[in-house]
Chain A
Amino acid sequence: MVQQLTTGERQNALVILVCIFVAGIAMAAAGGSDPLGMHGVLVLLFGGGLAALVMRSYYEPEPTQDRPSHYYDDPTKVGIALTLAWAIFGMFMGVWTAAQLAWPDLAFDAGWSTFGRLRPTHTTGVIFGFGGNALIATSFHVVQRTSRARLAGQVSPWFVLLGFNLFCLLAVTGYFMGVTQSKEYAEAEWYADLWLVVVWVTYFVLFLRTIARRKEPHIYVANWYFMAFIVVVAILHIVNNLAIPVSFGQAKSYTIWAGVQDSMVQWWYGHNAVAFFLTAGFLAMLYYYLPVRAQRPIFSYRLSILSFWGITFFYMWAGSHHLHYTALPHWVQNLGMTFSVMLLVPSWASAGNALLTLNGAWQKVRDDATLRFIFVAVVFYGLSTFEGSFLAIRPVNALSHYTDWTVGHVHAGALGWVAFITFGSIYTLVPSLWKRERMYSPALVEVHFWLAVAGTLIYVFSMWNSGILQGLMWRTYTQEGTLAYSFLDSLVAMYPYYIARAFGGLLFLLGAIVAAFNIWMTVRAVPAAVDRRADVPDTGLAPGAAATPAE
């Protein structure tokens, strides 16, 4: 980590870390016994610990003069390790909370372990911990290759990666203590949110400066998606999290939005966290790792343009479909429904573009589990975007809303699409990043694939069943015109599905553990590959071999 930095850069890193350390002391002093004080201690340990790490290597030799002629991959490597750690944590919390719904005594009669506090540790752990680290790590890798330029910073990539993880840590440890704004997928409190703004702006500047250094005339389509992901998430995050803290010594804050306006802001954020975090960013991965792994160019450039701008424009209107039949004005609900249905066009354009890219490489899909991960991701992307448009239709939503069908839909996307494309990308990336001949065990990739497929299908089918059953029971009338079932009847009917869902989730978690082991062993035990092709940036000195997938 530190060996790649010059003495001046090491000093800069130390200055930043000391600032974080001091901020931690200030938070601890201001917060006292409030959770804010506990978080102050966490921040000072984080800053102090990393500063000690830099100090330990401070007097090691500086990097050689030819540093600019290599890609900067250390942050990506650490990012992948963090991705896997968060995957296991986040999915474990998911299995635990799922099991609590079937066996409520698994909360052990304590406050920190109740479903309400654990649920955001799962959602934040997988969306931001697992998904976010995967996005940061792959974006650093992809933007360098597709621009044939080294990252435009030495310390800032570490600041972005580790700073983002500090945000995730603050968020997740806060939930155990009951620190939450209650905004779904934006539960973290005001100080963590402010910190994320600093990190995110740095990310944006770093990414844009790297693009500005590119040796290609055009910006590759994967980078369009990464840019949309970074820019729009910043807008969403800031608007949704505007809040007034009770005092600067307390974690608790009140959002400036109230009631119906807050509902619209929250779901404008919530649905576009799906759009720009869980879709745009991962489509960027798809547009790079799919052509690389399949060794085929993207099928259609025009379809890429259509789907990119369609997604960027339409998604932002769709959030109000989370509020059908509520106190939100009817016209907003209808706008949300209309745009949600139209969204199917750019979504399926993306999915179709990816599937047609695979045309001619189907034998590879059959033989190569890594490419099969990507293929299944595309299939689930197509299925869950169709399902999303369908559920956004008012009469359908009347049945599905508030039920497990929504949960099933989310997991069809999160497991089937997001996690599959991530693992497919990681399996593509790891051997080339660590310059290994191959993965440690192709058989274990195969095992992971089937665990993941089985887990996803069991999960999604059990939630489809329970959701539709629940929705129908709530609205069933007797001959006499009274409601046929009490709420409790509908809960009792859920138990078998809750058990099945927890089992499906467990299979998926086991797959992630297998992946972590396989990747660990690849780095540790697989012999280094003979360098077959130059994987270096175009510095203008030597003829650079482009590793860019054709458009």
Chain B
Amino acid sequence: MAELFHRKLERTAIGFVVAIIAAASVGGLVEIAPLFTIHTTVEEAPDMRLYTPLELAGRNIYVREGCYACHSQMIRTLRDEVERYGPYSLAVESKYDHPMLWGSKRTGPDLARIGGKYSDFWHVAHLTNPRSVVPESNMPAYSFLARTALETGDLGRHLRAQRSLGVPYTDAMIANAAGDAFGQAAPDSPFAAGVTERYGEKTQVSAFDGVVTQLTEMDALVAYLQVLGRLTDAAYSNTAAPEQAPNPTN
């Protein structure tokens, strides 16, 4: 009987295509749609901050250079990962990430909580020539970042595009995007105060690459690396214990 039906189905191209679409749609609908409707999917985090324009520009450089190909930003709920990298990652921490950068491969270590672990100076030295700091490293050198001026003229447009997708940037943030990017990397400039005013006291304002006169891509990338894992403290107050890795040799 089943075979008889299939013999019929095989005779109609449109029918066959419709059957394929029907069979193939179910899995995605069942797994993806509820992620938008079940509210416990993403935790509440009232202290959640937004990326500043400089951090967002740094994130875009992280994407452009394909850093995610070797570095994950997702600490799994396993004991050894929590002890190595810090509290496991929560969904809320990437709530504003378009796109998410959880990654799939660790040729280098996870970066979800790299922010604040090393000094700006260390990051600049490491990015300029990784093997000058870590001799065994196989990471590429990114010395050109410190020589490349950061494009800030279009940062307002970037923020506006993000807002249209649901990231709550205000009009003031959009209007001052370029100035805020400059101010975050120039602590003594008149632009610096507006950054913490708009993005919160916890925002790190510093001369990331050590040079305040010119804003470079190095400033942006280091600013981004320094904010990773520090947009909210939610993960630190989450009390559920990680799982023991299911490994008989432990």
Contacts and interface: CB of A to CB of B under 8 A. Distances in A.
Interface in B11-38: 11, 13-14, 16-17, 20-21, 23-28, 30-32, 35-36, 38
Contact of B24 (A235, A252, A476): A235
Contacts of A491: 107-108, 136-138
The A interface is mostly helix, strand or loop, or mixed, namely helix
A347 to B, nearest CB: 16
B104 interface: yes
A239 B33 CA distance: 12
Contacts of B103: 402
B144 interface: yes
A232 B103 CA distance: 24
B233 interface: no
A258 interface: yes
Interface stretch (B77-85, B196-204, B220-228): B77-85
A111 B145 CA distance: 9
B117 interface: no
B65 A109 contact: no
Interface in A79-108: 100-102, 104, 107
Interface in A253-280: 253-266, 268
Contact of B66 (A109, A182, A403, A483): A182
Interface string A317-354: 11110111111110010011001000000000000000
B21 A235 contact: yes
Given A116-B67, A401-B76, A258 B100 contact: yes
B24 A316 contact: yes
Nearest to B246: A395
A102 B136 CA distance: 10
Contact of A227 (B20, B107, B157): B20
Interface string A471-497: 010111100001100011001100100
Given A260-B41, A320-B31, A231 B17 contact: yes
A258 B98 contact: yes
B25 A316 contact: yes
Contacts of A324: 76
Contacts of A492: 136
A430 interface: no
B23 A211 contact: no
A211 B13 contact: yes
Contacts of B80: 474-475, 477, 483
A250 B154 CA distance: 10
A424 interface: no
Q: Which of B25, B64, B109, B167 has its CB near the most chain A CB atoms (within 10 A)?
A: B64
Contact of A119 (B69, B89, B100, B247): B69
B84 A316 contact: no
A495 to B, nearest CB: 8
A228 interface: yes
Interface string B129-167: 011001011111111100000000010011001101111
Interface stretch (B2-10, B178-186, B187-195, B207-215): B2-10
Given A406-B105, A407-B105, A488-B136, A325 B76 contact: yes
A540 interface: no
Contact of A256 (B21, B64, B98): B98
Given A114-B142, A260-B42, A316-B27, A475 B247 contact: yes
A263 B24 contact: no
Interface in B31-54: 31-32, 35-36, 38, 40-42
A532 interface: no
A482 to B, nearest CB: 8
A115 interface: yes
A115 B28 contact: no
A476 B101 CA distance: 27
Given A116-B140, A475-B80, A260 B17 contact: no
B69 A398 contact: no
Contacts of A244: 161, 164-165
Contacts of B141: 104, 107, 109
Given A104-B131, A477-B250, A488-B136, 11 more contacts: A114-B142, A182-B66, A227-B16, A232-B24, A258-B167, A317-B30, A326-B102, A402-B110, A472-B247, A483-B84, A491-B137
27 contacts: A116-B69, A175-B66, A178-B65, A180-B66, A181-B63, A218-B11, A231-B20, A231-B24, A246-B161, A259-B92, A259-B95, A260-B42, A262-B97, A263-B94, A309-B23, A312-B23, A314-B27, A325-B76, A325-B78, A325-B243, A327-B91, A329-B38, A339-B27, A401-B104, A487-B84, A488-B134, A498-B138
Interface of B: 3, 6-7, 10-11, 13-14, 16-17, 20-21, 23-28, 30-32, 35-36, 38, 40-42, 60, 63-70, 72, 74, 76-78, 80-81, 83-84, 88-110, 130-131, 134, 136-144, 154, 157-158, 161-162, 164-167, 243, 245-247, 249-250
